[in-house]
Amino acid sequence: MIDIYTPEIWYFLIMLATFVGLASIKIPISVSLMFSALAGSIAFGEFFPLRHLVEGGFGYIDTILVIASAMIFMESIKVSGLLETIAGNMTIAFHKKPTFLLVLLTFFIMIAGMITGSSTATVLTTGAIAFPVLKSLGLSKRRAGSIIAMSGIYGMIAPPINLPAMIIGQGVDMPYIGFTTPLLLATFPLAVITTLIIGARQVKPVDLELFKREREHEPVKGFTVYLPLIVMVLLMVQENASWGFSLGLPLIFMISALLASVTGRRGNIFKISTTAIQNALGILSILIGVGMFIQIMTMNGVRGLIVGYLNSLPEGVLLAGIALGIPAFGAVSSYGSASVLGVPFLLAFLGRNDIVVCSALSLLAGLGDMVPPTALAGIFAAHVVGEKNYFKIWLSSMPAFFITMAYAISMIVWSTTIGNFAKSVFFYPIFAGGLALVAVALLIIDKRKERVV
């Protein structure tokens, strides 16, 4: 039990009340985090701890550079026509294989989240481009919106860029290394399962002639439009190879963005960069606010108090608190949830496989983007598909939501076993083989449907 007369509990309550109060009156999350950190420092007796605020604000500078450059890259390949070309070519190639195309589109939607670490950016880029294809497959607005929203969350959590995991890791001085395999396990199986649950029964073959007439732009022809994506992948591979040299993700994204501006449809890299940074300011400012919040929690002892209390709880109660608390707090901000709750919950499970536990906690934090009243992924998905009542999309996503919650908790419970498998030489052959078996099964299902028709 926490002694209510302990000063740290009052510091925490003041910080939390300030944050929730400001957020509830529509003050930006980043500003709310900054003022709640300042409230915690004033309660502690430090009126304006400039050094701690600046140090905390710059705590995520590496992540900020990665996200900013990734957003520029995504905007550049959107302008170049690469995303529309990929979606169009997939549809033309697999228009008679609707179930297979449905899962393929899910992976396509996830790409933006994997690069930017933002479910909102995913929904508004690859999600918006995929919607006409989902509609051509026969999906209703409600189901298409649900797939776009959940795919945005899975993309946000999938490697190589996972902001909640970076935030949690930064809070415990754990480098963002070795997360690729656990995050693949945390997202791709869920993406396949939940997409099939939501949309498999409703899909039908695409009317190719109608689809071609309804497209806004013709696909960009030629190999050069794909070069930016190919270059980015090759540079990322060599970055992690023993024989490679380190460029850093920001430079890799900028090189690829510059290349995209001169391939496909030509674009002005300055205008592209300005648009991308304007779209990313909300995310980047939240990271600065999160850094300040964590720094002040460490300074006034709140972080230590929370960790000590959580370590005293029975495991069952702790797991229930994780399953419910992290997504619920994520309704305000998934990044705020990762910092305020993710960090102490990870510390409470020290001794297990920290990377797997952190991956699972980041998955739960990502679910916050589907929790009302903010529900950013659901609201933007409703906007993309033209559904006025986003609660229809939210209700349609609930089976996927609770499956994801249960999956994340199971990852924590069996984190040691999962971690051993993720580090083994058998992981990639088994993972790739599993995806191949799923692809074959979906193609067989589509073939049987085609015969019935």
Over the stretch 354-413, which tens digit does the pLDDT of each residue have? 999 999 999 999 999 898 766 778 888 998 898 888 888 999 999 999 999 999 999 999
**Domain assignment of residue 1, yes or no:** no
**Domain assignment of residue 150, yes or no:** yes
3-state secondary structure of 351: coil
Cα–Cα distance between 293 and 275 in angstroms, integer?
28
**Domain assignment of residue 116, yes or no:** yes
- Specify the number of domains making up the chain: 1
Structural domain for 180, as ranges: 7-452
Average pLDDT of the chain is: 87
**Domain assignment of residue 385, yes or no:** yes
Residues 237-246, mean pLDDT to the nearest whole number: 71
Cβ 354 vs Cβ 100: under 8 Å: no
Q: Cα–Cα distances in Å, from 79 out to 217, 247, 250, 272? A: 12, 25, 20, 8
**Domain assignment of residue 364, yes or no:** yes
Strand ranges (E), 136-240: none
Give the pLDDT band of residue 217 (cuts 50, 70, 90). Answer: low
At residue 352, what are phi and psi to the nearest 5 degrees?
-90, -165
Minimum mean pLDDT range among 85-99, 154-168, 332-346, 414-428: 332-346
Query: Can you say whether residue 173 is alpha, beta or left, with left for phi > 0 and alpha for psi between -120 and 50 degrees?
Result: left
Name the more confident of 437 and 28: 437
Cβ 319 vs Cβ 413: under 8 Å: yes
**Domain assignment of residue 236, yes or no:** yes
As beta bridge partners, residue 35 has: none
pLDDT by residue (tens digit) across 110-159?
A: 998 998 888 888 998 899 999 999 999 999 999 999 999 999 999 999 99
Place of tokens 């305000």: 332
Tally Cβ neighbours within 10 Å of residue 320.
13
Looking at residue 373, what is its pLDDT?
Answer: 67
Secondary structure element (H or E) that encloses residue 202, with its range = none
Cα–Cα distance between 298 and 49 in angstroms, integer?
13
Q: What percent of the chain has pLDDT over 90?
A: 39
Give the pLDDT band of residue 287 (cuts 50, 70, 90). Answer: confident
**Domain assignment of residue 447, yes or no:** yes
Name the more confident of 152 and 59: 152
Cα–Cα distance between 217 and 220 in angstroms, integer?
9
**Domain assignment of residue 2, yes or no:** no
